[in-house]
Amino acid sequence: MMPDLGKYAFAVLASYGATIVLIGALVALSFRQRARVKKTLDEVEARAAAQTGKNDG
């Protein structure tokens, strides 16, 4: 059950909404950065394997 927020209802709910949006954006950006770093690391490892003549996977 939601408490009665009176005249501050809009400010409080807007703050909660903004917080949820910002946390969601940070999570999405983190996953995007993870994918980019993983792709770069895979490329570097593939180049290193090609230079040493090894292909582990």
Average pLDDT of the chain is 91
Determine the pLDDT at residue 44: 95
d(CA 16, CA 7): 16
- Rounded to two decimals, what is the model's pTM? 0.69
How far is 8 from 14, CA to CA, in rounded Å? 10
**Band (12; pLDDT cuts 50, 70, 90):** very high
Query: pLDDT, tens digit, for every residue of 13-27?
Result: 999 999 999 999 999
DSSP annotation string for 21-49: HHHHHHHHHHHHHHHHHHHHHHHHHHHHH
pLDDT in the model for residue 57? 55
